């Protein structure tokens, strides 16, 4: 028997555009979006007007139902408007990481068959227009809206989210001017053609193994995942949700934008990209009741020199996901940040966003040792990897899930899709997990991260949890490296608490006294930071490559 998330009423069957219209017309003068850095403060009435005009503009530009519209941008008001406007007209939003270079951008535009690209002019030190020109040399000589690219034959139009001019590119004012001549009736007819089961989002995986894959997500999966994640937090229209995580990731645009809209609540965006001090300032100034982030983000906020200056007493809840949360960090989030009902979630792109989540009433011990229970209408199985049979409660196996949240497919990758979703609709997550008698799941880590040290299997998560209990350790990442005799050996990168020092032998002795010898890391490195994605997700494959190269390690032949 598999485990079913408890059912709480029926599921929402409205497309995103219709849902937004219903909420916005009911909330009207309640604040919907606050962008602290940009000085933007929109009510639901304002937001609806912006989205309606932009949806007409997209039709005016020639974007058809089913067209793929790429957005290569930071957290700006236009991102949210595009998310909702593309949904209204039946287009598919392709989320592009603003940190992408020319090679990654080119792969995404080509693989996704994007017809339109919206971009910001710059991100940090990168000139996005120049990067686009590197992979699309025809752009400067093209008339805006009439691009003819050999590499991207489907890409016809490029537009800036700024009112700046660039050869071959629409300015934002040009985009909005395209709404002229598009009537309310024309927009309504287009919106009525949208089905809840249509693909609305093409979300690319991180690509740490092989090329990134585009997961097709539907209106139905996004709306219901957002709704039930909000249910776990007990979100209401009175809540103000601070979202410092990036919109190009589902964490920001589903658990942020859509979860907030589902409740008619207010979303507060501190900055275009994560900044610990600005996030604290936004929470205090806007009296936010919820705060989303990765454990590394919460750690960065807690470590801020001016932390004590910000009144965070309004905080109640939020979502922490993306990595295991050390017990001490969770205690400080609950105690010093006042988020006593903070929840922990686990999920992946192929499952929309969230598969399991803790609830507000769960004790702190469950929030650091598990990732909660299945969301409503989600079916879970902890399966033996060889037979596919469900294992006994408490036993290790691969976590599978089934239900509305599972992606339709990987775009243009039928073989890879078939290897990920079986004939019975089960999504094989690739993560090792256990489930207790109450349905709470514990993630041991990706199967691919399991270290095979001689004849023994080592799960990095287990060693990391032990290292987190060391009083001098702020954070630890454990991974395998090649070894000529054992096949693989164990390495760890450790960030120490501020002002602390430690020796390699001190760390290794700490482990020796508490776990089997084969689980003790051979290589210990003290670092100030880890290589991460723009969302803050630690990239162990880069650590592994660095150590392998530096130590000239090799596997046994």
Report which of 162, 170, 76 is spatially closest to residue 117, judged by C-alpha positions.
170
532 or 85: which leads in pLDDT = 85
Residue 515 lies in a domain: yes
CB 117 within 8 A of CB 136: no
The predicted-structure confidence for 200-236, as pLDDT tens digits, reads as follows 999 998 644 457 899 999 999 999 999 999 999 999 9
Q: Given its phi and psi angles, is residue 305 left (phi above 0), alpha (psi -120 to 50 degrees) or beta?
A: alpha
In a domain, 101, yes or no: yes
Domain with residue 114: its CATH number is: 3.40.50.12780
Instruction: Answer yes or no: is 335 within a domain.
Output: no
pLDDT for 269:
98
Return d(Cα 125, Cα 37) in angstroms, integer: 19
Say if 231 falls within a structural domain.
no
What predicted TM-score, i.e. pTM, was given to this entire model? 0.87
Residue 458 in any domain: the answer is yes
Helix (H, G, I), strand (E, B) or coil at 308: helix
Q: Residue 541 is part of a domain; what is its CATH number?
A: 3.30.300.30
Question: For residue 464, what are the domain limits?
Answer: 450-550
Could you tell me if residue 274 is inside a domain?
A: no
Does residue 35 fall inside a structural domain? Answer: no
Identify whether the C-beta of residue 348 lies closer than 8 Å to the C-beta of residue 429.
yes
Residue 226 to residue 221: CA distance in whole angstroms = 8
Q: For position 550, what pLDDT does the model report?
A: 87
Tell me if 353 sits within 8 A of 347, measured CB to CB: yes
Residue 172's pLDDT is 97
Instruction: Give the model's pLDDT for residue 208.
Output: 44
CA pair distance 293, 243, nearest whole angstrom: 8
End position of a domain, from candidates 171, 204, 237: 204
Domain closes at, from 185, 204, 223: 204
Domains: count for the chain: 2
Mean pLDDT of the chain: 92
Mean per-residue pLDDT, 75-97: 97
Sheet containing strand 378-383, edge to edge, reads 3-4, 378-383, 397-403, 427-435, 441-446
pLDDT at 173 over 80: yes
pLDDT for residue 6:
62
Any domain includes 227: no
Last residue of a domain, one of 152, 181, 204: 204
């Amino acid at each position: 028997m598999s485990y079913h998330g408890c059912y709480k009423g029926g599921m929402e069957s409205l497309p995103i555009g219709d849902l937004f219209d219903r909420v916005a017309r009911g909330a009207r003068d309640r604040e919907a979006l606050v962008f602290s850095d940009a000085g933007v403060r929109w009510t639901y009435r304002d937001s609806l007007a912006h989205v309606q005009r932009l949806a007409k503009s997209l039709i005016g530009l020639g974007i058809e139902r089913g067209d793929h519209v790429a957005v290569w941008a930071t957290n700006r008001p236009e991102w949210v408007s595009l998310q909702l406007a593309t949904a209204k007209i039946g287009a598919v939003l392709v989320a592009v990481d603003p940190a992408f270079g020319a090679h990654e951008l080119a792969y995404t535009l080509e693989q996704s068959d994007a017809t339109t690209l919206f971009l910001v002019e710059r991100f940090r030190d990168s000139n996005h227009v120049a990067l686009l020109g590197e992979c699309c040399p025809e752009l400067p000589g093209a008339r805006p809206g009439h691009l003819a690219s050999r590499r991207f034959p489907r890409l016809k139009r490029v537009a800036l989210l700024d009112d700046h001019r660039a050869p071959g590119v629409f300015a934002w004012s040009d985009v909005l001017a395209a709404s002229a001549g598009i009537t309310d009736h024309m927009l309504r007819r287009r919106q009525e053609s949208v089905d809840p089961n249509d693909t609305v989002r093409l979300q690319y995986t991180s690509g740490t193994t092989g090329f990134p894959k585009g997961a097709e997500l539907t209106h139905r999966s996004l709306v219901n995942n957002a709704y039930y994640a909000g249910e776990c937090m007990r979100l209401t229209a009175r809540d103000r949700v601070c979202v410092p995580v990036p919109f190009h990731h589902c964490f920001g645009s589903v658990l942020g934008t859509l979860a907030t809209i589902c409740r008619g609540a207010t979303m507060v965006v501190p900055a275009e990209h994560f900044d610990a001090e600005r996030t604290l300032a936004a929470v205090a100034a806007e009296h936010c009741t919820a705060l989303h982030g990765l454990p590394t983000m919460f750690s960065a906020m807690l470590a801020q020199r001016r932390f004590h200056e910000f009144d965070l007493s309004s905080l109640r809840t939020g979502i922490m996901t993306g990595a295991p949360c050390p017990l001490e960090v969770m205690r400080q989030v609950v105690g010093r940040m006042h988020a006593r009902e903070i929840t922990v979630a686990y999920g992946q792109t192929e499952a929309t966003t969230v598969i399991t989540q803790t609830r507000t009433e769960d004790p702190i011990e469950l929030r650091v040792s598990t990732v909660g229970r299945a969301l409503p209408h989600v079916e879970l199985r902890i399966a033996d990897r060889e037979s596919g049979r469900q294992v006994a409660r408490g036993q290790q196996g691969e976590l599978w899930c089934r239900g509305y949240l599972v992606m339709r497919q990987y775009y243009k990758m039928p073989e890879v899709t078939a290897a990920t979703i079986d004939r019975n609709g089960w999504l094989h997550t690739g993560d090792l997990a256990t489930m207790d008698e109450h349905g709470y799941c514990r993630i041991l880590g990706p199967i691919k991260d399991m270290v095979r040290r001689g004849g023994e299997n080592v799960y990095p998560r287990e060693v990391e949890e032990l290292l987190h209990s060391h009083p001098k350790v702020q954070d630890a990442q454990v991974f395998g490296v090649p070894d000529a005799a054992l096949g693989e050996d164990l390495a760890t990168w450790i960030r120490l608490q501020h002002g602390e020092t430690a020796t390699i032998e001190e760390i290794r002795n700490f482990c020796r006294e508490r776990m089997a010898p084969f689980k003790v890391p051979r290589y210990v490195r003290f670092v100030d930071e880890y290589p991460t994605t723009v969302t803050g997700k630690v990239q162990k494959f880069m650590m592994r490559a660095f150590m392998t190269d530096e130590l000239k390690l090799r596997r046994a032949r």
